[in-house]
């Protein structure tokens, strides 16, 4: 089934009163039209993103800016080469960015052609709700417990290995291995962590256990891990982006404009933390009634408003709220919703991908809706698909406008008439949704006419990104600027 689909003709042929079907479709289309953004509106989002980025970079406006533009201490030379000289050997990588986290043993070496060769062994662990929302000590003790379990499984508890820590939350870096957590996102709320050094919290938890030692050499954001992973594949990769549970981007900014650190030469990777774009009101006219309900019922009302328009954590709930609106307007399921469909969080984001992957026989859509306690007609199935397409398309377009802002900013900074750039991307929405990528790529290119953009899907899932980050960390000191 094509990504951009129209089911109008198909719907009109349904065995139902012609006028009632057409009227129903027109009313549904009118409600869903709110999700459609034209090119001028997307250009406006892009311009506002660039303005907030500028405010985040400047010392005098950084504190009040919604887009924080956090320095990462991952640097490049004045010639533009990212400083990622890699140590060979065994490393441990820890990847914490959502409700699951991963511990990995990685072996980094060189093959006969001096290309990097990475072998990994990894284990995924699920973080219980009480650890996510309890205390920082509980959370990091649990992480240390899982690390201990992993080391036991692989019989390496006696080794003191270098550890690269991919930590995907807003952090103000003071060094490559020291970062202050500014605020939790993505459902985490462990008390006692915000305002503290995250690496210190991990080291303290390891010390409390006392049954293994670890040398935590670096902490980086998952966008940075993605960028560096893809840089090994394409040396033009200077942007990293995640569209999954959360949504964020990083890129190589000119050192002279990063006012939070000293130095003029070369470039530094900046973690935009653009999920908070809109927190100062920049997106008010673009937020719909469903967005406001999602925000009000979230764990962090008023925060991460741009992310709440885009990311996988909220997409399914947005669809559910639209479906409930259509039920209440007597446009869906004969005006009756099941108790399950009325329940917050019941329409999972994976259902959005599955609905839009339906081949046209509606079986997949029917099965999903049946599992939610409703027995849909064929017309109901088609309307649900239209809702999913509307929500996910807006997500792709909003995300594309943000990235276009980043890329245009890079081109303007470098005073280049045309810019060739590669973007490394990871995240479940980008990888698994059947149409997100194409919609997203098109909008980015439409909004950046003077740029030639290549997109690379990160192989982070195989462990390469986290592996390279932990290896890079051992030589990263050579790249850091002296404060």
Cα–Cα distance, 392 to 401 (Å, whole number): 14
pTM as predicted: 0.85
Angle at 119 between CA 227 and CA 437, to 5 degrees: 35
Of 317, 222, 236, 349, nearest to 273 by C-alpha is 222
Cα–Cα distance, 56 to 34 (Å, whole number): 30
Read off the pLDDT of each residue in 325-335 and give the average, rounded to a whole number: 96
Quote the tokens at residue 136: 């920082």
State the pLDDT at residue 274: 97
**Bridge partners (DSSP) listed for residue 420:** 452
pLDDT class of 76 with cuts at 50, 70, 90:
confident
Cα–Cα distance, 477 to 44 (Å, whole number): 40
pLDDT (tens digit, 9 = 90+) per residue, 40-55?
999 999 999 999 999 9
pLDDT class of 81 with cuts at 50, 70, 90:
low
Task: Please check the confidence at residue 167 and state whether its pLDDT lies above 70.
Answer: yes
pLDDT class of 56 with cuts at 50, 70, 90:
very high
DSSP 403: H
Task: Please check the confidence at residue 385 and state whether its pLDDT lies above 70.
Answer: yes
**269, 75 contact by CB (below 8 A):** yes
Of 48, 47, 56, nearest to 447 by C-alpha is 47
Q: How many helices (H) and strands (E) does the chain have?
A: 16, 13
DSSP 134: S
Read off the pLDDT of each residue in 201-228 and give the average, rounded to a whole number: 89
Angle at 191 between CA 186 and CA 193, to 5 degrees: 80
pLDDT (tens digit, 9 = 90+) per residue, 254-276?
999 999 988 888 899 999 999 99
Read off the pLDDT of each residue in 154-172 and give the average, rounded to a whole number: 88
pLDDT class of 225 with cuts at 50, 70, 90:
confident
pLDDT (tens digit, 9 = 90+) per residue, 401-459?
999 999 999 999 999 989 999 999 999 999 999 999 999 999 999 999 999 999 999 87
> Of residues 141, 177, 222, 380, which has the active-site annotation?
222
Could you tell me where the DSSP H helices lie in 61-214? 129-133, 136-153, 198-209
Q: How far apart are the first and last CA of the chain?
A: 55
State the pLDDT at residue 80: 57
State the pLDDT at residue 7: 46
Read off the pLDDT of each residue in 160-182 and give the average, rounded to a whole number: 86
- More confident site: 95 or 62: 62
pLDDT class of 481 with cuts at 50, 70, 90:
very low
**392, 340 contact by CB (below 8 A):** no
Strands (E) located in 207-254: 214-220, 237-243, 247-254
Per the annotation, the verdict on 186 as an active-site residue is: yes
State the pLDDT at residue 445: 97
Q: Indicate the SS3 state at residue 432.
A: helix
Quote the tokens at residue 454: 């290549």
- Could you tell me how many residues make up the chain? 483
Cα–Cα distance, 141 to 323 (Å, whole number): 41
Contacts of 26 (CB under 8 A, 6+ apart): none
> Of residues 68, 95, 141, 186, which has the active-site annotation?
186
Backbone phi, then psi, for 96, in 5-degree steps?
A: -120, 115
**365, 397 contact by CB (below 8 A):** no
The mean of the pLDDT values for the chain is 88
């Amino acid at each position: 089934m094509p990504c951009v689909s129209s089911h109008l003709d198909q719907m009109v042929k349904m065995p139902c009163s012609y006028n009632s079907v057409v009227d129903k479709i027109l009313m549904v289309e009118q409600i869903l039209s709110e999700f459609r953004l034209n090119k001028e509106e997307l250009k406006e989002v892009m311009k506002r993103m660039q303005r907030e980025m500028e405010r985040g970079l400047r010392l005098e406006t950084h504190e009040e800016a919604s887009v924080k533009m956090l320095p990462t201490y991952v640097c490049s030379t004045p010639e533009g080469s990212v400083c990622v000289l890699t140590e060979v050997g065994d490393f441990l990588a820890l990847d914490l960015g959502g409700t699951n986290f991963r511990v990995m043993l990685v072996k980094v070496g060189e093959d006969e052609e001096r290309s990097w060769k990475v072998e990994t062994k990894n284990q995924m662990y699920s973080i219980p709700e009480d650890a996510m929302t309890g205390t920082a000590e509980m959370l990091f003790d649990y992480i240390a417990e899982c690390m201990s379990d992993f080391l036991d499984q692989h019989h390496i508890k006696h080794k003191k290995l270098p550890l690269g820590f991919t930590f995907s939350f807003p952090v103000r870096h003071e060094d490559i291995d020291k970062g202050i957590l500014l605020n939790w996102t993505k459902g985490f709320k462990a008390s006692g962590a915000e305002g503290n050094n995250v690496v210190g919290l991990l080291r303290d938890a390891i010390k409390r256990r006392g049954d293994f030692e670890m040398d935590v050499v670096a902490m980086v954001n998952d966008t940075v891990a993605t960028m560096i992973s893809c840089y090994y594949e394409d040396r033009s990769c200077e942007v990293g982006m995640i569209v999954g549970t959360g949504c964020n981007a990083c890129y190589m900014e000119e050192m002279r404009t990063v006012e939070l650190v000293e130095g003029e030469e070369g470039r530094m990777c900046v973690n935009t933390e653009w999920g908070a774009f809109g927190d100062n009101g920049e997106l008010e006219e673009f937020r719909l009634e469903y967005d406001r309900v999602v925000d009000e019922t979230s764990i962090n009302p008023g925060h991460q408003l741009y992310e709440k328009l885009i990311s996988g954590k909220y997409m399914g709930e947005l669809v559910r709220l639209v479906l409930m609106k259509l039920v209440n307007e007597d446009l869906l399921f004969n005006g009756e919703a099941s108790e399950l469909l009325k329940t917050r969080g019941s329409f999972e984001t994976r259902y959005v991908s599955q609905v839009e992957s339906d081949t046209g026989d509606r079986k997949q859509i029917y099965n999903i809706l049946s599992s939610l306690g409703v027995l849909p007609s064929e017309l109901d199935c088609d309307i649900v698909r239209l809702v999913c397409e509307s929500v996910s398309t807006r997500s792709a377009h909003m995300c594309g406008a943000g990235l276009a802002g980043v890329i245009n900013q890079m081109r303007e900074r470098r005073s280049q008439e045309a810019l060739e750039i590669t973007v490394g991307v990871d995240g479940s929405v980008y990888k698994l949704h059947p149409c997100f990528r194409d919609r997203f790529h098109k909008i980015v290119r439409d909004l950046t006419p003077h740029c030639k953009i290549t997109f690379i899907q990160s192989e982070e899932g195989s462990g390469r990104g986290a592996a390279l980050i932990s290896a890079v960390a051992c030589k990263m000191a050579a790249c850091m600027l002296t404060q």
